[in-house]
């Protein structure tokens, strides 16, 4: 996977000012902490659960680790992160994570200081980054999971051009409980001719122009605090050890099983385990009979929930694949929506129905 060089976008006109998107720096800590603490009530309702207080989550060390993680993700080609700088002041962040050049997809995330929300900062930044994903990274699909209770974000996403694909039950642990999220997406083929940013600027009667993409100025290499430097060095060393360990584990394939019913041997398994969301996908390969498909799906679901202890189990099927759909329903999975233009095993792109079961769902009848 290609490395992403540090880049800046902009300046882009917004209401009563100009917006620049640049990589995060260690010396952003004080402003980041001030903005985040001031916006605690607005952000925590949609932020992952933590045992730490909000202030403890915003120390210099926490910011240094976040910057380090973002730089690593860019270096290995998996992500891009930007600070939103409005008229020279830090007002938020936008990230493009999970960049996958094979499936040509990525996930968008953005947060912004409520004090400047009326200036269209978050929406403008999102449009600029999505255009970057399509025009410079060659992606075809950008997704965004948004809490179903975050109504303003869902409405804003619709204004940008996102389409609702599915409502993912129990997708993320938010504010102490598993919360539902709408999965939204936008396709490169759906954009206006001049791009999302130009269209957004024109709608606000601002100068419609693409965001200038340029190499970022040299970043600071270390935090200013000596104690933070030591902690960051230890953290980096632990990450290297963890990557080496994961590399050894990666040599082991995802667990697969063969289930035989009345002479019909069906291969099934669990893949794409996501510890952060306590989730994984189950699959069955070429089932021929309803009984074989049902037994294979149930075996894979049991392994994911009972052996691996996962909270959320998903599966996909082509619309009209009644054999798999019936097997999923029989194992207690519920259809949540339709994923658009996903890459299939044969290299083509197609819509796929998303099914899911949670560990606390009642047993299938």
Judge whether residue 252 has pLDDT over 60: no
Least confident of 152-166, 215-229, 320-334: 215-229
Rounded Cα–Cα distance for residues 347 and 5 (Å): 29
Give residue 231's pLDDT: 79
Give residue 3's pLDDT: 72
Least confident of 90-94, 226-230, 252-256, 314-318: 252-256
Under CATH, which number does the domain 7-221 receive? 3.40.630.30
Average pLDDT for 163-171: 97
Highest average pLDDT, of 1-10, 229-238, 248-257, 296-305, comes from 296-305
Give residue 208's pLDDT: 72
- What b-and-e string marks burial along 174-210, b requiring 16 or more CB atoms within 10 Å of the CB? beeebbbbbbbbbbbeebeeebbbbbbbeeeebebeb
CATH 3.40.630.30 residue ranges for the chain: 7-221, 256-358
What percentage of residues in the chain have a pLDDT greater than 90? 76
Confidence of residue 244 (pLDDT cuts 50, 70, 90): low
Confidence of residue 253 (pLDDT cuts 50, 70, 90): low
Least confident of 228-237, 242-251, 268-277, 340-349: 242-251
What pTM, to 2 d.p., does this model score? 0.92
Average pLDDT for 238-260: 71
Judge whether residue 39 has pLDDT over 70: yes
CB-neighbour burial class of residue 133 (10 A; exposed 0-12, middle 13-18, buried 19+): buried
Report pLDDT digits (tens) over 52-84.
Answer: 999 999 999 999 999 999 999 999 999 999 999
- What b-and-e string marks burial along 305-318, b requiring 16 or more CB atoms within 10 Å of the CB? beeeebbbbbbbbe
- CATH superfamily of the 256-358 domain: Gcn5-related N-acetyltransferase (GNAT) (3.40.630.30)
């Amino acid at each position: 996977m290609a490395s992403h060089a540090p880049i800046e976008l902009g300046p882009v006109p917004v209401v009563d000012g100009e917006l620049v998107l640049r990589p995060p720096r260690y010396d952003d800590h004080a402003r980041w902490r001030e903005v985040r603490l001031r916006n605690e009530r607005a952000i925590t309702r949609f932020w992952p659960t933590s045992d730490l207080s909000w202030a403890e989550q915003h120390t210099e060390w926490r910011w240094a680790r976040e910057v380090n993680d973002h730089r690593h993700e860019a270096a290995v080609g998996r992500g891009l992160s930007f600070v939103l700088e409005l008229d020279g002041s830090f007002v938020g962040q936008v990230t493009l994570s999970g960049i996958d050049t094979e499936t040509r997809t990525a996930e968008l995330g953005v947060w912004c200081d409520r004090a400047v929300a009326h200036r269209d900062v978050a929406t403008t930044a999102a449009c600029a980054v999505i255009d970057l994903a399509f025009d410079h990274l060659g992606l075809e699909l950008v997704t965004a999971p948004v809490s179903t209770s975050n109504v303003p974000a869902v409405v804003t996403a619709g204004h940008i051009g996102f389409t609702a694909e599915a409502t993912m039950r129990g997708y993320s642990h938010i504010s102490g409980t598993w919360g539902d999220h709408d999965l939204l997406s936008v396709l490169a083929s759906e954009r206006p001719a001049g791009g999302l940013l130009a269209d957004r600027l024109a709608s606000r009667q601002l100068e419609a122009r693409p965001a200038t993409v340029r190499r970022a100025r040299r970043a600071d290499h270390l935090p200013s605090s000596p104690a933070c430097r030591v902690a960051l060095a230890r953290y980096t060393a632990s990450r290297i050890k963890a990557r080496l360990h994961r590399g050894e584990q990666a040599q082991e394939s995802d667990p697969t099983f063969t289930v035989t019913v009345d002479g019909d041997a069906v291969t099934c398994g669990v893949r794409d385990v996501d510890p952060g969301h306590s989730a994984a996908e189950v699959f069955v390969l070429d089932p021929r009979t309803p009984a074989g498909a049902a037994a294979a799906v149930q075996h894979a679901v049991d392994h994911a929930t009972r052996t691996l202890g996962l909270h959320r189990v998903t599966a996909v099927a082509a619309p009209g694949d009644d054999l798999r759909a019936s097997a999923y329903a029989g194992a207690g999975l519920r259809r949540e929506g339709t994923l658009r233009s996903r890459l299939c095993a044969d290299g083509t792109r197609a819509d796929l129905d998303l099914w899911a079961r949670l560990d606390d769902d009642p047993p299938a009848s």
